[in-house]
Amino acid sequence: MKRIYSHVIVVGIDGAGGFFRDADVPHFNEIFKNGAVTYNALSSRPSISAECWGSMLLGVGSEVHKLTNGILESTPYPTDSEFPSLFRRIREAYPYAELGSYCDWNPITHGVVENGIGVSHDTAHDTELAPIICDYIREKMPDFLFIQFDSVDGAGHRHGYGTPEFYQRLHEVDELINDVHKAAEDAGIIDDTLFIVIADHGGTNPETGGGSHGGWTDEEKFVTFAAAGKTVKNTTLSEMNIRDLAAIVLYSFGIEAPEFNENGWTSQIPEGLFDDKYIPQYRDISHLTGAAPRISKVAHTSELI
């Protein structure tokens, strides 16, 4: 396979769900006005951070990787796992690639990304982390950069998802997304960059105040995905799971994805994302995700607020 992009930047917005659709996010809208967008990508189940980020970076379902918040916080990801992270797969294909993982919620870097494979990393609260990331982009021009901003999820837990306070923080994080995009422009790499924004899960807005997630309501399970780049079609994606991020990134680097296996790799390239007739037809995996049929179920939470 031929490498399509020299750079891939993924900006993960924890807890943003599909709320981008109704938020005041002018930079997001401008960046992806000619790109591919959906507000109905399907989260992992349960809709909790470890399960979701794990699926995105490993390309397998949560029932396969079995990661939880507690495991990410306490256990380094094994370097010999049968389910390598995107970082390890890229490192093995491109030994000299510059790789970065910059996360507010640092357990992602140490609990999903293998140690000792040369991944640059740092952690801080979103507002403090963004300038560090921008400096890194301008200096190192990374091949693959994964970012996680956590404060939108924090606003959802404190005030409820979809509340005015929640939308205000999403509006503020939109500025950080633009800062990252601008840094790629400053570095002269944006024209050869696949730029992605993705959420891991959404959340609920109980009348009692404060929000939660972990359940399988529409507000929790449907999330935003947006991509912009030289080969991305201007479209609304109709079917996607967040685990598909892994296949998208590998394809962009010209790295062959593992064979589809319902007990392992189930990441796919969504239909219509790229104009490439050789991309395999998208398989229905709703029986694996608990989304058959894709309707809301009784809300519950599996994560402490």
pLDDT one-digit tens code per residue, 224-270: 999 999 999 999 998 999 999 999 999 999 999 999 998 899 999 99
Percent of the chain with pLDDT strictly greater than 90: 80
The residue with greater pLDDT, 291 or 199, is 199
Q: What is the pTM of this model?
A: 0.94
Q: What is the mean pLDDT of residues 167-195?
A: 98
pLDDT one-digit tens code per residue, 24-60: 999 999 999 999 999 999 999 899 999 999 999 999 9
Average predicted confidence (pLDDT) for the chain: 92
Helix (H, G, I), strand (E, B) or coil at 93: helix
Structure tokens belonging to residue 92: 């093995």
Helix then strand then coil, in percent of the chain rounded to 5, is 35, 15, 50
The residue with greater pLDDT, 27 or 64, is 27
Can you tell me the distance from the alpha carbon of 210 to that of 207, in angstroms, rounded to the nearest whole number?
8
**Which residues, at least 6 apart from 130, have a Cβ–Cβ distance to it below 8 Å?**
149, 176, 179, 180
Distance from CA of residue 305 to its chain's centroid? 22
The owner of tokens 């939880």 is 68
Can you tell me the distance from the alpha carbon of 197 to that of 207, in angstroms, rounded to the nearest whole number?
30
Question: For residue 294, what pLDDT is reported?
Answer: 39
Band of the pLDDT at 300, cuts 50, 70, 90?
very low
**Which residues, at least 6 apart from 139, have a Cβ–Cβ distance to it below 8 Å?**
none
Question: For residue 113, what pLDDT is reported?
Answer: 95
- As assigned by CATH, the class of the 7-289 domain is alpha beta
Please say if the pLDDT value at position 216 is more than 90. no
Q: What is the mean pLDDT of residues 59-76?
A: 90
Residue 171's identity, in one-letter code, is: H
Question: For residue 291, what pLDDT is reported?
Answer: 60
Which of 242, 237, 206, 236 is closest to 222 using CA atoms?
242
pLDDT one-digit tens code per residue, 116-174: 999 999 999 999 999 999 999 999 999 999 999 999 999 999 999 999 999 999 999 99
Question: For residue 292, what pLDDT is reported?
Answer: 52
Please say if the pLDDT value at position 299 is more than 60. no
Question: For residue 208, what pLDDT is reported?
Answer: 64
Would you kindly state where each structural domain of the chain is located, as residue ranges? 7-289
Question: For residue 301, what pLDDT is reported?
Answer: 36
| 200 touches 161 (CB < 8 A) | no
